[in-house]
């Protein structure tokens, strides 16, 4: 490798991404959520999506063993929500939040641009991350609003 990890991260930061909070339920019933920007569609038929989660994440075991998860795609006015689910305190994240429960019972955050409830289909090795693929079983999307974006290490909005 002829570059250091900081140069690698800086180069990847030039790719603007949306931000989502992925949620699930731990085996003990605890609500779990984490902010991700490594989310994308995989397939239209069947409807598959994927996100990547670091192996060192406190929520790693919950997401790799839970049968279902939800992807909550954030709107431009939800930067605080993104930051909240980036913190290490797991319980404080949920205080005062609007949450719905759909078919699988995983927490669905209200007020997002879109929500996708998924059944976990596959786990793939991704180096220091795992790639989690899910089949979308239910969704809701907004006809208006703008996404919260992440670019060069900070939150951005569409002009």
* Domain assignments of the chain as residue spans, ordered by start: 16-141
154, β-bridge pairs: 151
Please report which confidence band the pLDDT of residue 29 belongs to, taking 50, 70 and 90 as the band edges.
Answer: very high
Residues 102, 108: contact at Cβ < 8 Å? Answer: yes
Determine the pLDDT at residue 45.
97
106, β-bridge pairs: none
Helix ranges, 13-55 (H) = none
Determine the pLDDT at residue 2.
84
CATH 2.30.110.10 fits 16-141, yes or no: yes
Determine the pLDDT at residue 1.
62
Determine the pLDDT at residue 90.
60
131 exposed, middle or buried (CB, 10 Å; 0-12, 13-18, 19+)?
middle
Determine the pLDDT at residue 91.
62
CA distances from 81 to 42, 67, 147 (A): 25, 24, 13
- pLDDT tens, 46-98? 999 999 999 999 999 999 999 999 999 999 999 999 999 998 766 678 988 99
Of 68, 82, 57, 89, nearest in space to 133 by CA: 68
CA distances from 48 to 1, 86, 88, 112 (A): 33, 25, 29, 20
Element (H, E) at 121: strand 114-126
Element (H, E) at 141: strand 129-141
Query: Regarding beta strands 149-151 and 31-36, do their DSSP bridges make them parallel or antiparallel, or are they unpaired?
Result: unpaired
Of the ranges 9-18, 95-104, 139-148, which one carries the lowest mean pLDDT score?
Answer: 9-18
């Amino acid at each position: 490798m002829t570059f250091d990890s900081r140069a690698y991260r800086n180069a990847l930061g030039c790719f603007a991404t949306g931000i989502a909070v992925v949620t699930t339920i731990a085996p003990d019933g605890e609500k779990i959520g984490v902010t991700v920007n490594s989310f994308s569609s995989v397939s239209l038929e069947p409807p598959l999506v994927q996100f990547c989660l670091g192996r060192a994440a406190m929520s790693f075991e919950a997401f790799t063993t839970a049968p279902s998860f939800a992807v909550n795609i954030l709107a431009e006015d939800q930067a605080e929500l993104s930051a909240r689910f980036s913190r290490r305190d797991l319980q404080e994240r949920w205080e005062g939040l609007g949450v719905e429960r759909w078919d699988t019972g995983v927490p669905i955050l209200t007020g997002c641009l879109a929500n996708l409830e998924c059944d976990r289909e596959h786990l793939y090795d991704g180096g220091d991350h795992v790639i989690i693929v899910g089949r979308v079983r239910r969704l809701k999307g907004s006809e208006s609003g703008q996404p919260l974006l992440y670019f060069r290490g900070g939150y951005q909005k569409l002009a």
